[in-house]
Amino acid sequence: MIDRTLPFIDLHRHLDGNVRLETILELADRHQIDLPAKDVEGLRPHVQISERESGLMAFISRFKYLTAILVDGEACRRVGYENVADARAEGIDYLELRFSPWFMAESHGLDPRALIEAVVDGVRAGERDTGVKAQLIGILSRTYGPETCMRELDALLALRDEFVALDLAGDEARFPAPLFRAHFERARDAGLAVTVHAGEAAGPQSIWESIRELGATRIGHGLSAREDPALLDFLAERRIGLEVSLTSNVHTSAVTGYEEHPLAEFLRRGLLANLNTDDPAISGIDLTHEYTMAAPRAGLSPAQIRQSQANALEMAFLSAADKKALAERKRSTPRT
């Protein structure tokens, strides 16, 4: 199902949603952090989801042990590095990792700017050691409210050159996009692209607002777009990308099952949509699973699966020259 002549790309992966269980156990032991188990298989059901959660915020609660071990800069650096190493092991050629520094810093009261520096150091070291190209997207965690998000934005913009885009994530239903208009105006003025979590826990109006109020050129999830034919036409005409994560959407109860997912419909209508992992440690999956297992269950044809892979390259926050170079490098040296 995976076309090895095309780049294998993940555009929507939360860095703090991809922490190895072994790393959690090791750092918890080192820093005397209480866990509900002392081995991988005992810890797994407390982190990974096997059934649907009751909603998005119940899913987010699964981050508890992933962030509990972020005790200092070295732990954050390690998680950043291991994210890129894991991508290499999955055969990923290019990925965009996103994280909310405020959310990651909260458990141990870390300084958000210092945390960002540590994550960046780990990710860049991972790039050098693996050859995988990784770019960073900063998240404003809307759940904290506009005032705290402005402070979070300050920390991100202090290291603006390390980021390609700004995202808005968290409690979509209670904190709508217009509350963050000023934040994203600052980000766009700083030259950052915009992608926004929308249409996952709220209706199509959330997607419209993310585009019109915040300037989003990509949307994370976007499932409720299927409720608005005019929005579907707008997304297709403007080539606004939808970052879709099939298994995650099932686990958050955004859809009742793979078979009910609208991705196949989106692709039939010519929307620019692709497959991603979202939070691999929580969903217990990798990108290969989404292409070879989840996509067929969601009704995607082999041609649609390949189109998703091609769409990922078009959607990537890369220059035209970098996209061309990535595609040419993949064709000349396809990895198995």
- Residues designated catalytic: 200
Question: Which stretches within 70-144 are classed as H helix?
Answer: 73-89, 101-105, 112-130
Separation CA 296–CA 300 (nearest Å): 5
DSSP H/E element including 198: strand 193-198
* One-character DSSP codes across 241-279: EEEE-HHHHHHTTSSSSGGG-SHHHHHHTT--EEE--B-
DSSP H/E element including 237: helix 229-238
Burial of residue 238, with CB atoms counted within 10 A of its CB: 0-12 exposed, 13-18 middle, 19 or more buried: exposed
Report angle CA 22, 70, 62 to the nearest 5 degrees: 70
CB-based contacts of 75: which residues, under 8 Å, 6+ apart? 27, 69
- Between the alpha carbon of residue 91 and those of residues 88, 193, 300, 305, the distances in Å are 5, 26, 22, 17
